[in-house]
Amino acid sequence: MSQPNAFLRALRRFGISNAELEDEARLRTAKAAGAHTLAECGDRSRGTFRGTISMLTMKPRSGTPWLEAEFTDGSGTVTLIWMGRRGIPGVVAGRELKVTGRISDVDGQRRIYNPHYELL
């Protein structure tokens, strides 16, 4: 006798970590908004993404400030880099954003330089 699919889904979710549940929720929200997912976009792909900043740092490069944010949409992570910026009002860890830009793969790390962003 087979069990209903809803029961199996509920049973599967029982063993999932909070981080995995949050990623699933982010991914559902991004897809519902019609955004691209980071997982489906490769090097030099341009897209609009919806997700959350998990970490924010300021790293000077050759005397010029670079604001870097780790951004996740539930399917993957990319580093957003704003060159020449020490901070951006409203761009803080935990904040949900909609960003548009081109993904670059630099030394195995995915980055979007100077993305257009919208605070959500």
pLDDT, the chain, mean: 83
Neighbours of 66 (CB within 10 A): 17
**What is the architecture of the domain spanning 5-119?**
Beta Barrel (2.40)
Q: Are 53 and 97 in contact (CB under 8 A)?
A: yes
Residue-wise pLDDT for 41-97, tens only, equals 888 989 999 999 999 998 877 888 899 999 998 888 999 999 988 889 999 999 999
Supply the pTM of this predicted model: 0.77
Nearest to 95 by CA among 117, 110, 115, 112: 117
Nearest to 52 by CA among 80, 28, 72, 31: 72
Alpha-carbon distance values, 89 to 22, 47, 48, 53, 120 (Å): 25, 23, 21, 14, 13
Query: Scanning the structure block, which residue is given the tokens 């910026």?
Result: 85
User: Is 80 exceeded by the pLDDT of residue 98?
Assistant: yes
b/e string for 91-103 if b means 16 or more Cβ within 10 A?
Answer: beeeeebbbebeb
